[in-house]
Amino acid sequence: MITGLLILSLAVGGTQALARLDVAAASPQQPAVDARPANDPNQKPAAAGQTDAPERGSSVAFEVVTVAEGLVNPWSLAFLPNGKMLVTERPGRLRVVTPEGKLSEPVSGLPELVARGQGGLLDVALDPAFAKNNTIYWCYSEPREGGANNTAVARGKLVDEAAPRVDEVQVIYHQSPSLISNLHFGCRLVFGRDGTLFIAQGDRSITEGRMQAQKMDSLIGKIVRLNTDGSIPKDNPFVGKEGISPEIWSFGHRNIQAATLHPTTGELWEVEHGTRGGDELNVARKGKDYGWPTIAYGIEYRGGQITGGIQSQAGMEQPAYYWDPVIGPSGMTFYTGSLFPAWKGNLFVGGHATNDLVRLEVQGDKVVGEERLLKDLQPKPERVRDVRQGPDGAIYLLTDSATARLLKLVPKK
């Protein structure tokens, strides 16, 4: 079913020429987009513009169209070449969705998973050569002995028939060690330009997992990089290093639920959840340490300092940008389409905690402006779980609830 809801993005400052961005970003007359106080007002960013970017309206009028509804806690969206879409539902179902919004029966053939807490069926992605091999990849929480579990990735050949299924299923990745936790699985799957697969994960939340984000023989709190068959690329940063897992691309991550490639540089950008404050936007570079839990912005959920209460340390990367208070980021995409020329090059991030869509104006590795969209979405504000650019140039969103929707943003007619 397709219904239209008009949303008008109100102008705040108008579209600025790139040459004026730095001046505008530094202007004290422009308020930050989020008026809520920081959880720790005594913390200071390591660099100017690292947080609280000025609010910058884009004067773009658009409609929000409901493409499909009746989804149960959907998590991820991928576009098939034939115009259909794949949508994962966290309870463990993969659906094929037609352009008209019809949901298929659950795709059969997926391996067993555990759907508790934040676990279940998570990200889905098409093989770069899908047109030739029909192969898809999906990320899920895998049950192990003794009540433990871990993040895992499988692949299989999609058979899109009346009763859809996946054949020739292979589990190509098991996060280790397995822990007893129903939290912080991650997970996002992103193919690099060279065809390798990035798997962005979480720290499992519990103290044992949190501390392993800095342990190099552990895959917890890491982004790993694999070949499509699960083998390890020879140019991974820690291949051949004793005591270090060769799958690791970068480390010191908390809980990554958003990742995408930069359209110009091809670098992997990711956004990870902080605690009370400290959601981070990072450029995930080869072999780098992003600090968790040694350094962090924000405070613990129950109050008090995180680890030693420090925000910087030599040898650890600073976030390109951070939020305090948080947005609860989930899903992100750089916009490269032609439907919204004013948004070209902007980064869109789902606000799972703030029930909105966050638009970031980016210059190099820096955020120079921010706008919050969809706060007045009807019939009610909804959590945003995934954000994708469709092949038609529209921006597609998955909301997250037991009665969730697949939406798309298109120009106002």
Query: For the purposes of burial, counting CB atoms within 10 Å of the CB of 381, is it exposed (0-12), middle (13-18) or buried (19 or more)?
Result: middle
DSSP β-ladder status, 329-334 and 321-323 = unpaired
Tokens of 46: 């390591």
Closest CA to 125 of 151, 91, 156, 171: 156
Q: How does pLDDT run across 190-212, given as a tens digit for each residue?
A: 999 999 999 999 999 999 999 99
Output phi, psi for 337, to 5 deg: -80, -175
Higher pLDDT, 312 or 413: 312
Q: Are 62 and 411 a contacting pair, CB within 8 Å?
A: yes
pTM, two decimals, is 0.92
Tokens of 256: 């990554």
Q: How does pLDDT run across 299-327, given as a tens digit for each residue?
A: 999 999 999 999 999 999 999 999 999 99
Q: How does pLDDT run across 153-167, given as a tens digit for each residue?
A: 999 999 999 999 999
Mean pLDDT, rounded, for 163-192: 98
Which domains can be identified in the chain, with CATH numbers? 3-411 (2.120.10.30)
Residue 203 and residue 252: Cα distance in Å, rounded? 9
Tokens of 336: 């490269």
**Helix, strand, coil: what percent of the chain each, to 5?**
5, 40, 55
Residue 84 and residue 98: Cα distance in Å, rounded? 5
Closest CA to 174 of 111, 80, 244, 81: 111
Q: Are 124 and 94 a contacting pair, CB within 8 Å?
A: yes
Q: 18-22, 65-69, 92-96, 405-409: which has the minimum mean pLDDT?
A: 18-22
Q: Which residues are catalytic?
A: 184
Tell me: pLDDT of 22 over 50.
Answer: no
Q: 53-62, 106-115, 215-224: which has the minimum mean pLDDT?
A: 53-62
Closest CA to 255 of 283, 301, 293, 289: 293
Residue 7: per-residue pLDDT = 36
Tell me: pLDDT of 253 over 60.
Answer: yes
Residue 21: per-residue pLDDT = 29
Residue 320: per-residue pLDDT = 98
Region for residue 304 given its phi and psi (left: phi exceeds 0; alpha: psi -120 to 50; beta: otherwise): left
Residue 326: per-residue pLDDT = 97
Closest CA to 318 of 42, 53, 47, 25: 47
Residue 3: per-residue pLDDT = 42
Residues 6+ apart with CB under 8 A from 152: 111, 139, 140, 141, 142, 171, 173, 174, 175
Tell me the pLDDT band of 30, cut-offs 50, 70 and 90. low
Tell me: pLDDT of 5 over 50.
Answer: no
